[in-house]
Chain A
Amino acid sequence: EPEVTQTPSHQVTQMGQEVILRCVPISNHLYFYWYRQILGQKVEFLVSFYNNEISEKSEIFDDQFSVERPDGSNFTLKIRSTKLEDSAMYFCASSGSLGGSVLVYEQYFGPGTRLTVT
């Protein structure tokens, strides 16, 4: 069964450093997302991406964040200058099969990248 993959599984970085989190969505999906989950807390929406551009973003997704789909398979989240409060689990998700009904909204999540900022 197709699945969303994410790398690395755990990233440790120093405050102020740039990090790039990588995701490979399910190959025939059209919509891509990033969420974060601070330890033991709620899953929070960051951004959605469709047709090579951001379609929606939350107030968490400020100028320090950016997303990119550099090729036909990868979807990345970049944090330019990490802060301690960026420490969280970051989940990538994808949805919307090409050729299928775009009314099907379930998102398939990757296993997450645990980001630790020291």
Chain B
Amino acid sequence: GDSVTQMEGPVTLSEEAFLTINCTYTATGYPSLFWYVQYPGEGLQLLLKATKADDKGSNKGFEATYRKETTSFHLEKGSVQVSDSAVYFCAHAYNNNDMRFGAGTRLTVKP
């Protein structure tokens, strides 16, 4: 069945380091792809999205490109900040029914 696989965490980086969190998906069609972020003690917030192949989603310095050939949607940021410490979830959805989430990757950024 369809699924989303993220790199396992936790990931610990120093401030201003480059971030990559890998995400790959299996799908029978062409879902929309999302990254959500969960800050400590809070709910899920949409970080960015891409709805078709080669689309690049971006927000708050984060980027991810919908790669159909590698079925990937890796999250990147050039220079992380302490405030980026959170759990990041990759997800996909075909329609307005259900969204499939990856297991989440915890990021800790140290000053």
Contact = CB atoms under 8 A, between A and B. Distances in A.
Interface of A: 30-31, 33, 41-45, 48, 50, 55-56, 58, 91, 93, 95-96, 102-103, 105-112
A42 B95 contact: no
A112 B43 CA distance: 6
A41 B89 CA distance: 11
A109 B38 CA distance: 10
Nearest to B48: A106
A107 B43 contact: no
Interface residues of B, number: 23
A91 B97 contact: no
B98 A106 contact: no
A43 B104 contact: yes
Interface string B41-53: 0111110010100
A56 B97 contact: yes
B46 A108 contact: yes
A43 B101 contact: yes
